[in-house]
Amino acid sequence: MADSLREQQLRMAGHIRDPQANPPPPGIEARRLAVYRQLFFGNLQSLLAGSFPVLHVSLASEHWQGLCEDFYAHHRCHTPLFTEVGGEWVEYLQGRTDQLDWVAELAHYEWIETALLLSDAAEPEHDPEGDLLEGVPVLSSLAVPLAYAWPVSHIGPEHLPSKPPAEPTLLLACRGAGHKVTFSRLAPLAHALLVSLQDQPLSGREHLAVLAEATGMEATAIEAPGLALLQSLKAQGVVLGTRRV
């Protein structure tokens, strides 16, 4: 009995994804199947190279080719949107435990810029004049604190580290006016505060008390510099204000 149309499509898709593991569907000459594969795989490879330019040029060509082929053959994307394939690529690399850790981290660092550029997330409700100590500070949906074991902002073809530095790379990615995404270095206290704001709805004073306990400081000693930091983050548009009561 002849294969159904769906079976034929699945056989063709499987062969185009991974011709070594999946026999071609009958009745289609090999030359035409090769053209299909070249078109589909070439488009994917071009998309990834354009979205992750630093990673692309930092890996040996055969290494990059092998990753792309394996991703194409075995990763099942959960989105039909080309703009979201980068997130799938990051997820795939994070699952490849046989790679140097900086590969996945560099990919994530490159992807977060695109994710913020394309984000249509609305800013949460907030009171821009709220008390940052007594109220619950609200973090912008377009600001993301980042922590990497590897110096992702300095990795490139001329600088491929063999081991991570002693200190992590702490960054803030933020989309500002004109849809421009910027990255800035963060001190450990600023990063810890932003992560705390991101994770739990506490008052500014409670956030600072949590940080004081984690760092072995007195709560009274951290309050003044902590408030100054919250005010600075608000001036930058990273903290929007406080949650409306």
- Domain 122-245, architecture per CATH: Alpha-Beta Complex (3.90)
Percent of the chain with pLDDT over 70: 96
Sign of CA dihedral 182, 183, 185, 188: positive
Which sequence spans correspond to the domains of the chain?
1-99, 122-245
Chain centre distance of CA 195 = 16
Supply the pTM of this predicted model. Answer: 0.87
Give pLDDT, residue 15.
Answer: 66
Side chain identity, residue 166: A
Report the mean per-residue pLDDT for the chain: 89
Q: Which two tokens stand for residue 207?
A: 């956030």
Which band of pLDDT confidence, cut at 50, 70 and 90, is reported for residue 1?
very low
Most distant CA atoms of the chain, gap in Å: 80
Helices (H) and strands (E) in the chain, counts: 9, 5
pLDDT digits (tens, 9 = 90+) for 122-154: 999 999 999 999 999 999 999 999 999 999 999
Q: Which residues make Cβ contacts (< 8 Å) with residue 158, sequence separation at least 6? A: none
Residue range 1-99, CATH number: 1.10.150
